[in-house]
Amino acid sequence: MRATKDSNGFSHLSVEEMNGHDKRPVLITGGAGFIGTNVANRFLQSGHRVIVFDNLSRAGVERNLAWLEREYGGMVDVEIGDVRNANALMKLVRGVSKVFHFAAQVAVTTSLENPTEDFEINARGTLNLLEAIRGLSSPPQLIYTSSNKVYGDLGDVTITEQSGRYVPLDAQARQHGFSEKRPLAFHSPYGCSKGSAGQYVLDYARTFRIPAVVFHMSCIYGLHQFGNEDQGWVAHFLARAIAELPLTVYGDGKQVRDILFGEDLVDAFLLAHQHMRRLAGQSFNIGGGPDNTISLLELIDLIEALHGKKPDVEFAKWRLADQQYYVSDIRKFGAATGWSPSVTSGNGIRMLYEWLIESGAVPRRQRETIHRPTMAEASVS
């Protein structure tokens, strides 16, 4: 697969060779979101039509949609709708080559407030999509993005503190992170809905031969991510700092995650499609891996170096199902496809910081444009 360089000089995969002569459009549910926008951009750059299906319920995503339409015009087909509408999905999947399923309710806190709605969007919405695809004589390839929350709070993992961050005592977990062999342990309604949806995808791949792969994602960050989105804690912290507003950290800030730049995730998606015949019916842990770990406190220190001023930090109690340490073991997907992250956490955070300023997404000192963080926004996923 041919690689192209982005404006920052990083090489990423082109979809041209992967798609070959298949000019059928690509369907992206939740396509106006941060990840959906990056996937859409990659396909549109190569001249492939994209169908963006989104209910525009998340703050900021309308800006992503406007940007895609401004950049690519009629190449983008926009369908405003909801995955709970099974009939709409049945119409959309006809004639598409690939489906990226990102539409979801993404916050643990919201799932606690309304478990039924969380289930209807994440679990039932995914089943609606699977049934729509199953009804086709030649089903398109499907990539479904799940969460590390399917592994629960990892309360059985013995953790110690080292250099101001948490690390597991187990040498294997410390060196490589958590692999797909880790038992599923759904915690919170959100964990249950995302986890059960992922299991449905895997079973439809086995039972009905739908070409589908599931990614259990760690923390993804990058361009077109707005700081007021649930789970977007890296962008959220940066946005608060740029606006010179205080941050709220839930817990002590020593919790650690592996973070993955959005363009590297898109590369992984493209490789999954390229190797779908071998990978269908499998799940993969995906993130920045052991080389791209960061704690909340370390991110705050990095923000100080970028911004020239340390943000004010307020601490609050731990949230339900918070993981003190989660790092993805990415070796399984790497061995299957040759993939590895190319953007280091330091470079990626710098690029996101600059984009938030240059794009006008977070005007400096415009306090009225930034709202106080919710528990979901200031937490790590």
Q: Which residues are catalytic?
A: 190
Q: Which residues, including other chains, have CB under 8 Å from residue 357's CB and lie 6 or more apart?
A: 242, 364
The CA distance from 265 to 280, in Å, is 18
The CA distance from 237 to 67, in Å, is 23
The CA distance from 107 to 96, in Å, is 30
Contact 106/174 with Cβ under 8 angstroms? no
The CA distance from 188 to 115, in Å, is 9
The CA distance from 313 to 123, in Å, is 36
Q: Which residues, including other chains, have CB under 8 Å from residue 33's CB and lie 6 or more apart?
A: 54, 58, 61, 64, 102, 229
The CA distance from 237 to 243, in Å, is 10
The CA distance from 241 to 40, in Å, is 29
Question: First vs last Cα of the chain: how many Å apart?
Answer: 31
- List Cα–Cα distances, 200 to 144, 189, 234, in angstroms: 10, 16, 30
Q: Which two tokens stand for residue 291?
A: 């080389």
Q: Which two tokens stand for residue 381?
A: 């996923």
